A and B are shown apart, each in its own frame.
Chain A
Amino acid sequence: MELVVFIITAAVAIIGAAAMLVSRNAIHSALFLLLNFSAIAVLFLLLRAPFLFAVQLIVYAGAIIVLFLFVVMLLGAERAEDERDRIGWQRPVAALMGLLLLGEALYVFVSRGVSAAVPPGSEDFAAPEKIGAALFSSYLLPFEITSVILLAALVGVVVLHQREGGAAPEADPLREMSTIAPEPTRPQGG
C-alpha cells in the first residue's frame, strides 16, 4: 500500500518538475513547482518525517513560491522568452548531458540492486518533540548561526533595494510599473 502511494506521489513530483521546465509562462512554472514541492512534502510524510512535512509546506510552498510569484509579477517576467539561443548548440548539448546524468543514475540503481526494505523500527524517531530536544541541545550552535544567516539575508535585501544617493524616487522603473497609486506630492517647506 505504501508502495502505491509512493508511486503516485513520485509521478506527481516528476510531472510537476517536467511541466515547470517546459512551460513558457513563468507563473505556470511557479505553480508547477508548487505542485512538486507539495509532492515532496507528502514523500517526507511517507518517510516518517512529520516535522519536515510541515516545515516544507510552510517555508517552501508557503513562502518561497509566494516570493517567486511576487517577483515574477513585479518584473512582468511571465512573457515568453526568445526562441533563439546565443550559442546554437547549447540546448542539444544540455539535453545530451541531462540524459547522460539520468542514464548514470539509472545504471547505479539497476546495478546496485534494490536495497533491503527498512525494518519497521520505531515510528516516532523523528517526532517533533525529539527533533526539538535535539535541536536545542546538541545542535544549538547551528540553530543560532541560522538566525544570524537570516539576519544577514534580511539586511542584504534591504540594502539591495536602496537607491543610489540622489536618485529621485519617481525615476525608479519599478515605481513606473507598479499599479499602486502614486504617493502624494510632498508638502511644501517640509
Chain B
Amino acid sequence: MVPTSYYVLLSAVLFTFGVLGVLTRRNALIVFMSVELMLNSANLALVAFAQQRQSTAGQILVFFVITVAAAEVAVGLALLVTIFRSKRTTNIDEISTLKG
C-alpha cells in the first residue's frame, strides 16, 4: 500500500508546476493549461484522502469539480477567442486594458 502522504506530496509538486506556469508563461493558452493542472492536482489530493477514509463522498466531490472545470474551460476558451478577435494576439502582456 502506498501511504497517503506520497499522493499528497505529488499533488503539491504538480500544483507548484501549475503555479509556475501561470506566473511564467505569457501565452494565454498555456496559462489556462496550467490552471487545469492545478485543478487536477487538487483532485488527486481529494481522491487520496477519500481512499484513506474509505469515503464515497470525497469521490463525488471530485466528480463535481471535474464537471465545473469542464464548464469553466469552455467559457474561458470562448472568452479567449473573443479577445483574439479584437486584439489578434494571445500574449497576455498585451491584453492589459479593460477595453474589449
Which residues of A approach B to under 8 Å, CB–CB?
2-3, 6, 10, 13-14, 17-18, 20-21, 26, 29-30, 33, 36-37, 40, 43-44, 46-49, 51-52, 55-56, 59-60, 63-64, 67-68, 71-72, 74-75, 77, 81-82, 85-86, 90-91, 94-95, 97-98, 101-102, 105-106, 109, 112-118, 120-122, 125-126, 130-131, 134-135, 138-139, 142, 146, 149-150, 152-154, 156-157, 160-161, 172-174
B23, A30: Cβ atoms closer than 8 Å: no
CB pair A98–B16 under 8 Å, yes or no, is: yes
Let me know if A172 and B85 touch, CB within 8 A: yes
Q: Give the secondary structure class of A's interface.
A: helix
Contacts of B47 in A (CB 8 A): 43-44, 47, 49, 52
Q: Among B1, B8, B70, B78, point to the contact of A160 (Cβ < 8 A).
A: B78
Q: Is the CB of B56 within 8 A of A75?
A: no
B70: chain A residues at CB < 8 Å are 59-60, 63-64, 150
Q: What B residues does A64 contact at CB under 8 A?
A: 36, 69-70, 73
**Which residues of B1-55 are within 8 A (CB) of A?**
1-10, 12-21, 23-30, 32-34, 36-37, 40, 43-44, 47-48, 50-52, 54-55
| B interface, CB within 8 angstroms of A | 1-10, 12-21, 23-30, 32-34, 36-37, 40, 43-44, 47-48, 50-52, 54-57, 59-60, 62-64, 66-75, 77-82, 84-85, 88, 90-91, 93
Q: Do B9 and A68 have beta carbons less than 8 Å apart?
A: no
> Is the Cβ of A125 less than 8 Å from the Cβ of B56?
yes
Question: In the complex, what residues of A have CB within 8 A of residue B66's CB?
Answer: 52, 55-56, 59-60
Contact B77 A126 (CB under 8 A): no
